Structures are given as C-alpha cells and as structure tokens.
Amino acid sequence: MSKITTTKKTFEYKDNSQYLPPIYEVQKDVEGYITSFSVEQQTEYTEFFNKFGFVVIRDVLSKSECQKTIEDIWDYIESFKWASYHDSMKNEEKTIKRNDPKTWEGTWPNLSQEGIVGYPPVFSETTIANRSNPKIYSIYSTLLNRKDLYINHDRFGFFRPTKDCKLPFPNITPDHQLNNGEQSTEKTTKTTTTTEATTTTTTIETSTETATATTKATSTATSTTTIMKSDFNKWKTSENLHLDLNPFSFIEDENDDNRKKVFSTLTYKSGEDFFIENNQPEFIDLNVMNIQGLINLCDNKKEDGGFIVVPGFHSHIKEWTLNNAKTKEQYGYHSNFVCIEPGNPLYSRAIRVTARHGSLILFNQKLLHGSSPNNNHRPRMAMFLKMFGSNQIPKETLERRQQSIKQCFEKNKIKTDHLNELQRKTLGLELW
C-alpha cells in the first residue's frame, strides 16, 4: 500500500508524557459490575456513552446464544481453521482439546498475547447470527444516529484461565457454573510436578446425578477431576493501553483525503483488509463518531482479565496528543496502533470494564483502551465487532468487499435464506 501525504495543520508539541486528563468517576452496581443499561434505555445509555466514552448494554445475547458462541469458539480452535498451515498438518498434530488444559500448552492460536483467537476473520453460522442481531443494530443506530450501517467481520477473544485448571476441564458456561450443577467433595490430595512449577493436585469425586447434559459431555455415575494448582503465567495476556488510530494524523490532517485513499486501495483478498477498515477514522474536523465493540460471552469480573479503559479520555485526546512529542517521534503518522509505555501514569486511571454474559460493550474509538491479564481460574471469552456508516467506504471498494464476504459465506457453507433485507445489508451481502 502506498503512503499518502496530506497537508498538515501546525501544532506546538510538548514533551510531557505525564499529562493526565481529568478523573471521571464510573459507578458500579450492587454486584460489583460496571453500571449497565437495557436495550430500551436509549436516552440513559447515550448520555453515559457521550460522557465516559464507553457503555455496557446488557442482555443483547441470551444465555443460550452465549453458550452456543462459546461452543463455536471451541469448535473453531479445535478445527485449526485459524492456522495458516492447517492443510499441511497431520491429524495427530491437531492436539488442542477443550477438556484437556495440558493440550493448551503447545500449539495455540496466534495473537494469544492479545487474547485474540487467530488472525483471519471468523465466518460461521453462529458469528453471522450474532453480527445480524437486531439489538446490536438498534444500539449502534441510536448512537450513530443513522440507519445505513455495515458490520465488520472480526474474530473471537479468549483469555485462558491462569490458575487452578481442572482436569478434565469442564464445559464453560456463561455464568461460570463450570461443573454444570455438579456437587463436589474433596477426596484426596497429592503433589505432582508440571513443566512450569511444583503444583498441588487435588482429586475430586463428583456426583453427576443432577448434572446438566451438554452436547460435549457424557453423563456418568461418578467422575474424577484433578485440579492443577499452578500459576500459568505464560498464558497471561499482556497488560496494555493503546489507541486504534494515529492521533497525530487524526488532529493534524487538513482534510479526509488520506483515509479515502487508504480505503480506495483495499481489495479484501485477505482478511487483513477487514482490520484495516477498523482503524481509519475520519479526521477530527469532520466530528464523525467511530464506535468499536465486543460481546461478553461469560460473566467477566475484575480478576478474570479483560477490557480496560481510561474514562473520558475521548474528550481530551487532542490535549494528550499535543503533550506527547516523543510518542509522535516514535510512531510518526503511519501507525494506527499507538501503545502507551508501561509505567505511564495513565495506567493508574484505567478501570476494568466488568460485565455480565450477553452484554455489549461499546467504546468511542478516541478512547484510550486495552486489556489486563487473567488472574483467575475462570476464562474470559468475547466476540469483537464494529458497525460503521455506509459512506465510510467508497462504492467500488464496497463492491469488492461484498464479493469477498459472499465468497466467505460460500466457503464456510453459511445459509442465507433466513436473513431479511436489513440483515443482508448489515452483513455486507447487499449494499445500501
């Protein structure tokens, strides 16, 4: 892709990396989750979003829809569809098994340090059902104040548990009832050694008379569970704060020509172009809102790791940018992923966005955000998404995008007969 140079506004930058925006206090509910809203509370969630730069809207997916998506993530991981070398692998090399944490040690989907499952966009019946969910469209339409929206095709998020992994690992459920209703009593304790540390292993006898049957488990009279008492630090994702845009070109560009040129060159012959379209917001003077998001598939508490934000940062991005001359020297104008150095006081302002399963978490693209690692036995599972106006991408590029999406549907044998006109347009199968 050729580099584009546009006329820049002139600003005076300072070397003041300790700059901090004002503190924005965010309330939690009685269970310790960040304040959330129902889909119907449009006025309330819009006011919250505008003030803090993010919002949690609960019950966008039902518990059963979350469970289906969790199973879809495991199916995707076990299928090795995320691996570029999939076709050259022998079946015995595809060893990841959802019920055996020992198989999570070696081969694992790339981008695991970011908590992302694989690199290409995921196309499946379940992901398409979620992306065409009318509640998600309604919320985005309310916040963006427009109807002609496309949804991006992105990936899953999975933070492996880093403590006390059970063997075999039970079926993951949205409410983290990992034993599926089983009653456990400790029977014996012994010591064993793993490749990482000396661990205490507890054997548990489990009654399954009241266990919930799943498609992935077989009910038996009794079963034995081993707990791997170890801290799997190498499974932890990296703590980070970043911007999914270049703040320097964002505030300095005189016009929108650079972004338009980037979009005009996208071919969508590879999955990367779906991610490039995520990180190209219109320049600041246009005052166009770009909103990124994710769906929480499991109850996500502070110690489980996951999404963090600096509340209110979106309203102070220009001041922060002008105080970071060294960051400008480091990243220049062409990187659309700008990270905050560890130890920067901005990390002290970041909060964990805790949320229940089925919640949609949306955030302004100008908001400083990132993630913190899992420090618990509960996994974190999510699905990433973004919706944007149809005028963001040129018509010729949209036509290439449409053909690529249709090919992905055909390749993955995804049915479309049940989709209505709005869903087909939202998914990019038809154009606005």
pLDDT at 92 (0 to 100): 73
Both 263 and 362 in a single domain?
A: yes
pLDDT at 5 (0 to 100): 53
> Measured between alpha carbons, how far is 41 from 139 in angstroms, rounded to an integer?
10
Q: Which has more pLDDT, 116 or 165?
A: 116
Check pLDDT > 90 for residue 4.
no
Dihedral sign for Cα 378, 383, 384, 388, please: negative
Both 128 and 195 in a single domain?
A: no
Q: Work out how many domains the chain is built from and give that number.
A: 2
Q: Which has more pLDDT, 105 or 230?
A: 105
Indicate the pLDDT class of residue 181, thresholds 50, 70 and 90. Answer: very low
Which whole number is the average pLDDT over 298-302?
96
Check pLDDT > 80 for residue 131.
yes
What's the pTM? 0.88
Indicate the pLDDT class of residue 210, thresholds 50, 70 and 90. Answer: very low
Quick: pLDDT tens for 348-406.
999 999 999 999 999 999 999 999 999 999 999 999 999 999 999 999 999 999 999 99
CATH number, domain containing residue 340: 2.60.120
Check pLDDT > 70 for residue 212.
no
Both 390 and 257 in a single domain?
A: yes
What CA–CA distances, in Å, run from 218 to 99, 214, 215, 222? 12, 8, 8, 11
Containing 401, the helix (H) or strand (E) segment is helix 395-411
- For 420, the domain range is 42-70+96-102+119-155+236-427
Both 133 and 277 in a single domain?
A: yes
Both 291 and 269 in a single domain?
A: yes
- Alpha helices of 8-83 — where are they, by DSSP H? 42-52, 63-79
Which whole number is the average pLDDT over 398-418?
97
Both 143 and 169 in a single domain?
A: no
How far, in whole angstroms, is CA 312 from its chain's centroid? 20
Residue 109 domain-assigned (yes or no)? no
> Measured between alpha carbons, how far is 303 from 163 in angstroms, rounded to an integer?
11
Percent of the residues in the chain that have a pLDDT greater than 90, as a whole number? 74
- Token pair 């379940």: residue: 126
Question: Which are the contacts of 370, defined by CB distance < 8 A and separation ≥ 6?
Answer: 239, 240, 241, 242, 307, 308, 340, 350
Domain closes at, from 206, 231, 256:
231
For residues 131 and 122, is the Cβ–Cβ distance under 8 A? no
Q: Which amino acid is at 86?
A: H
Quick: pLDDT tens for 279-289.
989 989 899 99
Quick: pLDDT tens for 16-73.
999 999 999 999 999 999 999 999 999 999 999 999 999 999 999 999 999 999 999 9
3-state DSSP assignment of residue 267:
coil
Q: Which amino acid is at 343?
A: G
Both 227 and 332 in a single domain?
A: no
Both 307 and 218 in a single domain?
A: no
Q: Which amino acid is at 317?
A: I
Q: Which has more pLDDT, 1 or 403?
A: 403
CA angle 270, 272, 274 (to 5 degrees): 100
Residue 415 domain-assigned (yes or no)? yes
Both 195 and 309 in a single domain?
A: no
pLDDT at 53 (0 to 100): 98
Supply φ then ψ for residue 213, to 5 degrees. -75, 140
Question: Which are the contacts of 285, defined by CB distance < 8 A and separation ≥ 6?
Answer: none
Which whole number is the average pLDDT over 404-428?
97
pLDDT at 193 (0 to 100): 36
Both 320 and 379 in a single domain?
A: yes
Encoded tokens for 381: 């599972």
Residue 403 domain-assigned (yes or no)? yes
Encoded tokens for 294: 């994710």
Indicate the pLDDT class of residue 93, thresholds 50, 70 and 90. Answer: confident
Rg from Cα positions in the chain: 23
* Out of 5-14, 30-39, 209-218, 291-300, least confident range: 209-218
Kindly report the average pLDDT of the chain as a whole number. 88
Which whole number is the average pLDDT over 116-137?
96
Torsion-angle region of 360 (φ positive above 0: left; ψ -120 to 50: alpha; else: beta): beta
> Measured between alpha carbons, how far is 268 from 290 in angstroms, rounded to an integer?
21
Both 243 and 374 in a single domain?
A: yes
Q: Which has more pLDDT, 1 or 348?
A: 348
Check pLDDT > 60 for residue 431.
yes
> Measured between alpha carbons, how far is 89 from 102 in angstroms, rounded to an integer?
20
pLDDT at 218 (0 to 100): 41
pLDDT at 86 (0 to 100): 75
pLDDT at 391 (0 to 100): 94
Q: What is the DSSP letter of 181?
A: T
Residue 22 domain-assigned (yes or no)? no
Among residues 411, 429, 309, 325, which one has the least CA distance to residue 48? 309
Residue 37 domain-assigned (yes or no)? no
Indicate the pLDDT class of residue 185, thresholds 50, 70 and 90. Answer: very low
Domain closes at, from 184, 214, 231:
231
Indicate the pLDDT class of residue 166, thresholds 50, 70 and 90. Answer: confident
pLDDT at 270 (0 to 100): 87
Quick: pLDDT tens for 307-344.
999 999 999 999 999 999 999 999 999 899 999 999 99
Domain closes at, from 231, 259, 286:
231
pLDDT at 223 (0 to 100): 55
Both 373 and 421 in a single domain?
A: yes
Residue 81 domain-assigned (yes or no)? no
> Measured between alpha carbons, how far is 314 from 244 in angstroms, rounded to an integer?
12
* Out of 4-8, 148-152, 411-415, least confident range: 4-8
Residue 323 domain-assigned (yes or no)? yes
- Token pair 């290439």: residue: 400
Residue 343 domain-assigned (yes or no)? yes
